Chain A
Amino acid sequence: MKQVSKFLFLVSIAFLSSCSNDDDAITTPEPLGAYENGYFILNEGGSNTMTASVTYISENGTQTDDVFRIENPDQAEIGTFLQNIFFDDTRAFIVSGSTNSVTVYNRYTFEYITTITSNISTPRYGTVLNGKAYVTNQDSFSTGTDDFITVINLEDYSTSQIAVGDYVERITNNNGNIYIMNGTFGSGNAITVLNPTTEVITPIDLGAGNSPNSMSIEGNTLYTLTSSQKLIKVNLTNNVLDTPIDIPTVLTSPKNLDLENGMLYFTSGTSVYSLGINDTTISTTPIATYVSTSAFGSMYGFNVENGVIHISDAGDFNSNGQAFEYSIDGDLLESRTVQGNAPNGFYFN
């Protein structure tokens, strides 16, 4: 028996080494950087710019705070009210609301690359498609008519604008189109489709009062949660709305819709709820609930990834934030304090 296993072992070694000789792709790749795996927590920051930061959690759970400052000690501050991180293959883009900027880093080493400030005013979220970044801008908060998209050419970081004329917030892409959520704090009630080639925009009306607060796309369906307690599905092949699903009224202020492995997840209060993408009713039994010391900054960031529920808590918005990992069954796996204010999102490398 021993002999046999030894033999198998040797054979497999030979096989592997021969493979590696034949095919470079199989060699253990050079590590891309200290932040190659794991995930980032974006700490929005308060009025003290230093409280805006990025925390890195490695695959084995080691926490590193203040990533962009550690890696770039001489770099000027990037601002506060950090709203979003988005990526392309090699770069991470951090959106700062206070400085009307998008700061570009290497996504694996967090080495500073550049800062983009032209054609940006009160930026919110971004997405990358075919070598260009698309960033939503609210400009003046008081009106949606001046809202626009910044298009950043990622070769030379030149920028241009596309007017939208309706509240813009979250943005994503699917099948070569850009999808923009027209909803912020209960204003706006549409999803806008942007054709990146023609730059033509097409609004999809969600109906009066149905102001979207989060969205997810899978296949050809866009799912969005509205402030009017509805889950609305949009067929993206013809931009037609399915019959909305009502969210039980006991689940007040549903938000944070996320789609993962054929399941939809969202939050209400300090609890997480889920349903299958084809379900037509919603259970009022939470799959996970966490205890928040703050009634006001709970579920400030939320994401489900690889069977783990990530929750962040902003506390009183003026102290270190907290981040939690829960299993899909609702068991607490990890809780941590981040050096920064108001953690608002999780981003996976």
Chain B
Amino acid sequence: MKQGILFLVFILVGFCSMAQTKQDSIQKLEEVVLISDSQLKTFTNTQSLLTLNDSIIEKSKSSLTDLLNNNSPIYFKENGLGMVSSVAFRGTTAQQTSVVWNGININSQLNGQTDFNTINVTVTDQVTLRSGGGSVLYGSGAIGGSVHLNNIISFKEKLSNNLNINYGSFNTLNTNYKGDFANKKWSINAALGYVNSDNDYDYVDSDNQNLNGQFNNKNASINVGFKFNESNILKLYSNIYDGSRNFSLALPSETPSKYDNFDTRHLLEWNGFYGKFTSKIKLAYLTEAYKYFQNIQRSDFSEAKVNSSILKYDASYSFDKSMLLNAIVAYTQNKGNGTSIQSVNRRIGAFNLLFKHKIVHWFLYETTVRQETTNSYTSPFLYSIGLKIKPFKVYSININGSKNFRIPTFNDLYWEGSGNLNLKPETSKQIEVSQQFQFKNIGFNITGFYNDITDMIRWLPIDGVWKPINTDEVVTYGIETKLEANKAFNNHKLTFNSTFAYTISENKQTKKQLIYVPFYKVTANLGYNYKKWSAYYQYLYVGDVFTQSDNNPKFNVDEYYVSNFGLDYSLGKQYKLGAKVNNLFNENYESIAGRFMPGRHYNFYINFNF
């Protein structure tokens, strides 16, 4: 009997370990196949990640701002609903957060930032937040952190079509279609999104209305994968965005203006898996173009466009399961011109070397370096080093230090009459320590960070002309926490997610907090699911922000609490009906002084699967 049990145990263990190996290799292939941004998996072991999947995206469809504002510690300031939206991630500037589409940095070459209201999340499969420095992997701007928009290409048999129609207050229509087809050879997914809104909401406790706030955008995306054989896969990612927004007026007699932007992104890549050696060739072509009508009653406008071509070769070699070496060589060319920018051609070469070593199962380190060379400014040597120690199954600690940068933008360098060719990149040295606790139903993460940023580029009026110069030194530090919990019993399922951020962002010279960086931000989401019903409650708190560099509290933007409540019902597998009340308690709030946000408003949606 004893022998028998021992034998059984032996078999089981053996089977498990086999399964483990198999699963490992599957997982490995999945990792590299599923998303183009493979370093998000392979070289992000010592920094914290927050992944927002379909189910979360579904609850905040209206914009990337709405999604991240309600689910992450990133602070957003919006010039009114749907208007220009910029971020402060860990107390940094909007140019110090990079947005990465399928592994490619898509921050505007013109102003160095991404307007989070010009990204349609419905054509994205997965949004991941990577906190902290990442310039070695993702280039300019990854100082506060990076936001990753990924499309998934999978060769798992699939055929699905999904149509979602969402209609709500202020005559807002947000509709999207997603089609997925995959077999062992092909993976094709296509998505279309259309948003249109009058956006003419009444201000809370006021007779005034949001004027000239209407906007619309169309977004098409197609992602195709073709598997020649187990070793060779060809992938194509494409995204086209066409947006038109009027800029709302803070006061009625302001000059109404309008902003149109048209962005395209294409990425073609060939992945080769040859045993321990993996090879990826990537060719990307991105265009960005805007037209700004300073007065919509006039036909004249200012414009600018940049076309970027990127050629990247990414080779990695895994010595054994514990060591991975990855080298990337990239060449980028940005060609731009515009009303106030003469025709420029900027070329950047970059060389990256990444190494990861898992010495024992509970200890891992990774280190990365990057050197760029360019024809338009001096580029610093960038690096990162990270440790992960996991002494217990439920507990791990990460330490990561890095040097990162934000390069001068086209506007900074080439703006007619103002551009400053002597600018240096902004650089940051940063360190973070993060602890994770992971139990069965509850996970908790607490991260402390410290970030020392020098040569901040600021535009200042010098002899009557606004010019960018490297001037400020800023130190940001603080704490971020993340809590995830879920509990299921009988047919009930409860989920709870929450983030908290405490941020100091101080000008070293003046010892003052930077403007528009709140000390506190809290988000919380409670979800409840019972059979065909599900309900959720979103809560957002943003503390007071200074709008003045001398921190004069007289001109602060006040703290605000915003709650949303949603309910939906599944009708069989094919239909889902839902409704959401936004700003449930009709809070009168603004995130930028004088730019009021809407009070209580509603939207209703219907979702078809066929």
Chain A contact residues, CB within 8 Å of chain B: 47-51, 76-77, 79, 98-101, 115, 117, 121-122, 140-142, 185, 253, 295-297, 315-320, 339, 341
Contact = CB atoms under 8 A, between A and B. Distances in A.
Interface residues of B, number: 29
Interface in B286-316: 294-295, 298, 300, 302
Contacts of A319: 548-550, 552
B251 A185 contact: no
Contacts of B252: 99
Contact of B255 (A49, A77, A100): A100
Minimum-distance CB pairs A-B, first 10 = A319-B550, A48-B593, A117-B253, A318-B549, A99-B253, A48-B547, A319-B549, A49-B594, A296-B460, A99-B251
B552 A320 contact: yes
Given A49-B593, A297-B461, A320 B251 contact: no
A318 B253 contact: no
Contacts of B465: 185
Contact of A318 (B251, B294, B515): B515
A316 B255 contact: no
Contacts of B550: 315, 319-320
Contacts of B277: none
A320 to B, nearest CB: 6
A140 B300 contact: yes
Contacts of B594: 48-50, 77
Contacts of A341: 548
Contacts of A316: 460, 549
Nearest to A146: B298
A342 B361 CA distance: 60
Contacts of A317: 461
Contacts of A49: 250-251, 593-594
B597 to A, nearest CB: 16
Nearest to A48: B593
6 contacts: A47-B547, A47-B593, A50-B554, A50-B593, A185-B464, A295-B462
Contacts, number: 76
A315 B554 CA distance: 18
Given A48-B593, A50-B593, A320-B552, A296 B462 contact: yes
Contacts of B302: 142
Nearest to A316: B549
Interface string B220-257: 00000000000000000000000000000011111100
Contacts of B554: 50, 339
A48 B555 contact: yes
Nearest to A78: B251
Given A49-B594, A318-B515, 12 more contacts: A47-B547, A47-B593, A48-B547, A49-B250, A51-B547, A79-B254, A99-B252, A99-B253, A99-B254, A141-B294, A296-B460, A316-B549
B548 A140 contact: no
A299 to B, nearest CB: 11
A266 to B, nearest CB: 15
Nearest to B297: A121
A49 B515 CA distance: 15
A77 B208 CA distance: 12
B251 A77 contact: yes
Nearest to B249: A99
Given A48-B555, A50-B593, A51-B548, A142 B253 contact: no
Contacts of A296: 460-462
Nearest to A255: B464
Nearest to B79: A47
A76 B209 CA distance: 13
Contacts of B462: 295-296
B320 interface: no
B594 to A, nearest CB: 5
Nearest to A121: B255
A342 B462 CA distance: 15
Interface string B548-573: 11101011000000000000000000
B102 to A, nearest CB: 35
Interface string B449-470: 0000000000011111100000
A293 to B, nearest CB: 10
Given A49-B250, A117-B253, A318-B549, A140 B295 contact: yes
A142 B295 CA distance: 12
Nearest to A294: B460
Contacts of A339: 552, 554
A122 B208 CA distance: 23
A319 B515 CA distance: 10
A316 B459 CA distance: 10
Contacts of A185: 464-465
